[in-house]
Structure 1
């Protein structure tokens, strides 16, 4: 059997972290002497290595999964010319051989984080100008980014291998077993808390640097999200408040919602956004106006009553006349103009201030010790008022919040996780939130089979890619996908 490995190469002055094999599996390897002894010599090289972590998240194998895992499995997108694998994901028809369930790019990023954590101290020993403050900041970035990537994996697979150290010798375990959801979430929470004080509130290098690298605000936003997933509502409230108290972020004005947040990017609302100097191939591939792979689901306009002028409606999140995801493909919301093929330089937004407000609202509604519907309403209403200019007419605030998130974060890779988070509470008391997706996903010829997929809660987590199972006898397939 082939070794379960990742080979690392280094070029002079720049870390070139590239896998030597094109096989799609979780790849690890002992780091050779060239990496350990010749590269990690100074703070500039550590900075390059940290930049390499962010760069690995910019790759289409990473960003395409952020989009498909977070949106395609929900109701927000329907296929025009998506691949068969993507269409199957939209119908929750998932098999272990579907390439979109491969986690290779995510573990590659994790391995880069582990390398920085393993070798950065060595660089400081070799470079007398490398300060303890700078070292701790770089390691904090790597450790927090690793936690974010693990969080995405947990939300999609539930149980995953937890690899917390770089593979430094032939004695390493190349065949890790899965850890439980709770074990991984507790580990990454502790990791963030251990280093969050080393992250800066802001960077002096400019707005792209400030939004594109991890800050305290970004780390607390990630923590809040993890706590919400764990149903630790008081901790979520506190983490969100840490972001709010920084007084660094604010909701953009209604008139600038599309332009500043999505067209220009790096707005006052942005907390953590991947930066793209080149074409963003994932968004271009899926949303290019003249040849899109997907479109918004037909009933999206029903989210927005015609009598309410909601900035997120037509020519905001979507364009009604063309069936286009305007949030990424548009240029001018008033004129209804679209990007050319070479204009897809979007950022990918992991967190923005509206998300923090709505996460805190959700926690206030569900907390036993700090339940406060008035505070929750105020937080939701801030987002709603920004978009509409009129107060929110609350019916059932808990579900009003879910709907507000659907409108605010349409196509931003959050909808499936919102539905799953709501549905699985209280032993899947609200499973209907997912099973009713069948009405959108199914046609007359396949309604029964698609309904069977959505009725089994074990299907809500992805299968482990078959190559992983073949190469690692310690990995067990997720229960729903065992033949």
Structure 2
């Protein structure tokens, strides 16, 4: 099947009610269609196009075969890790990804949902500047802010693509007609990262610090979202001073803090969202529910691994009141290992299907702290990294573990953390597993740390397999993961047929 309009432009309704409600700014939905410069005539149309980019992050267009993007974000970040197992309704493709048997024919290798939204962003970046000629009320500051948002969303998507596939095509201009060139070769992962760095540096100079209300500040790209993207990007680029610099811009802003580890912690952080900890959250609401109620409860495709409670969080069998807040009824239900983080109204009550609007958390303040710890450790300041995790005393609520009331059995101390980089790395990874269970980060955290210094720590991946893979599949998976190309997905066979400039990942040839 020939693809002529696979990366089509964005058609949006011109009517816009503005941002009059602090939690309804995302109600406008995009519609697919061919749009040229005739659409981009007023600042309201630019605003509409930008909001359409956010809407596209939440759902696929009617009739489109692609899954909602958050399903991909969960599966790409978790299924190859050690914290998720197949549920009774998992598809063959999903089971194959878990068992490292994925093929180019798998529906999970489709990247069209990413490039569809990238093209929406490209339309804004390419076409919005000319609107200043047709609409004299459209200021340069407003234009810059919208372009920054489009650059930020595009950077997030390309970062995810490069972490998932390794080498991917870089499409940096809008697709405006069927005559556009669709034969685009892949760029290397490093080239993609370098383009993201360039885009984020531009976006940082143009982005707003605030959009005027909490929901917009958490659900739209701000300068602090750009800094969070930079912090992660520089970890992948192994540029640790720059990663710390980006983290410190967020930390020193004074605008973010960990949600206190009290009885309201779960409801504040997860069930309600948009807390003091949120930096960028995909904003589901009563009008646009998330897919997680069905995905994890009604027809569960995935459950938590048995090792999540037993090994990662651990259990105090002598004192049931001593538990990690993030464990039972925080991230998971201990009685059946079902994933709870996106389903609970509080620690005791599950939401109904009609209330399934828990956000998807792209970045929150805890991530910034632990990314800084990772960078500090790589620069030889293991002591500084440990302070972020353990705190300076048992009442230090700015510390990750203290806030979470983590069990003493999972705490690690080091005689000299500055000289035990490997040990501190492993501890950071364990704490990231506890903090971000089922938030789409586990596989990428393991991969990033394993591949550092030319795969100096491949053992991190192999040890994860040894600890979590079924005995009858363990040796097969270990053998596959020793081939570094297996750490990335294959290019879908449809893409290979329609784009002759693409070359399949060698592991899948």
TM over 0.5: yes
CA-CA distance at 1:326 after TM superposition: 1.4
Matched-pair contact (CA < 8 Å) for 1:8–1:17: no
Alpha-carbon distance between aligned partners in 2 of 1:295 and 1:195, rounded to the nearest angstrom: 38
Equivalents in 1 of 2:474, 2:406: separation in Å? 40
- On the 8 A contact 2:12/2:52 being kept in 1, the answer is no
Residue of structure 2 equivalent to 1:41:
41
Work out the CA distance in 2 between the residues paired with 1:281 and 1:408: 21
Distance 1:417 1:12, change over 3 A: closer
Task: Pick one of 355, 358, 364 that aligns with 1:346.
Answer: 358
Distance 2:265 2:446 in 1: 24
Q: How does 1:223-238 map to 2 (within 5 A)?
A: 223-238=230-245
| Distance across 2 between alignment mates of 1:315 and 1:96 | 37
Quote the Cα distance in structure 2 between the aligned partners of 1:12 and 1:331.
Answer: 34
| Residues 450-471 of structure 1: CA deviation (Å, up to 9, x unaligned) | 3333332210001011100000
Give the alignment partner of residue 133 of structure 1, picking from 136, 141, 154: 141
Q: 1:247 aligns with which of 245, 254, 273?
A: 254
**1:231-253 Cα shifts (integer Å, max 9, x gaps):** 11111011101111111000010
Q: Secondary structure at the match of 2:489?
A: coil
Confirm or deny: 8 A CA contact 2:4 2:178 kept in the other structure: no
Q: Distance in 2 between matches of 1:151 and 1:192?
A: 11
**1:143 — aligned with what?**
151
Residue number in structure 1 paired with 2:442: 415
User: Corresponding residue for 2:90?
Assistant: 82
Structure 1 residue 294 displacement after superposition: 1.4
Question: Shift of the alpha carbon at 1:223?
Answer: 0.4
| Alignment equivalent of 1:378, drawn from 365, 383, 387 | 387
Pairs within 5 Å for 1:190-269 = 190-204=198-212, 206-255=213-262, 256-269=264-277
CA distance in 1, matches of 2:502, 2:201: 29
Moved more, 320-329 or 349-358: 320-329
Contact persistence 1:9–1:16 (CA under 8 A): no
Output the TM-score relative to the length of structure 2. 0.86
Deviation (angstroms), 1:445: 4.4
Distance 1:403 1:444 in 2: 23
| 1:305 CA drift (Å) | 3.4
Indicate which of 311, 315, 338 corresponds to 2:329: 315
Task: State the match for 2:56 in structure 1.
Answer: 56
CA shift, 1:399, in A, is 1.3
With over 3 angstroms needed to count, the CA separation of the structure-2 counterparts of 1:9 and 1:54, relative to structure 1, is closer
State whether residues 8 and 119 of structure 2, in contact with CA within 8 Å, keep that contact through their aligned partners in structure 1: no
The alignment's C-alpha RMSD in Å is: 2.1
Aligned equivalent of 1:456: 483
Q: Is the 8 A contact 2:122 2:174 kept in 1?
A: yes
Native 8 Å contact 2:10 2:120 kept in 1 = no
Within 1, Cα distance between the matches of 2:473 and 2:338?
26
Distance 1:445 1:272 in 2: 40
Are 1:155 and 2:156 an aligned pair?
A: no
Alpha-carbon separation, structure 2, partners of 1:447 and 1:297: 16
Is 2:290–2:358's contact at 8 Å kept on the other side of the alignment?
A: no
Paired position in structure 1 for 2:79: 72
In structure 1, how many angstroms separate the alpha carbons of the residues matched to 2:31 and 2:503?
28
Taking a change above 3 Å as real, the CA distance of residues 138 and 450 of structure 1, as seen in their structure-2 partners, is same
- What residue in structure 2 maps to residue 165 of structure 1? 173
Is the 8 Å Cα contact of residues 160 and 179 (structure 1) preserved in structure 2?
yes
d(CA) in 1 for partners of 2:332, 2:13:
46
Contact 1:17 1:112 in 2 (8 A): no
**TM-score under structure 1 length normalisation:** 0.91
* 2:383 is the counterpart of 1:387: no
- Give the equivalent residue in structure 1 for 2:62: none
Distance 2:314 2:92 in 1: 34
1:13 alignment counterpart: 14
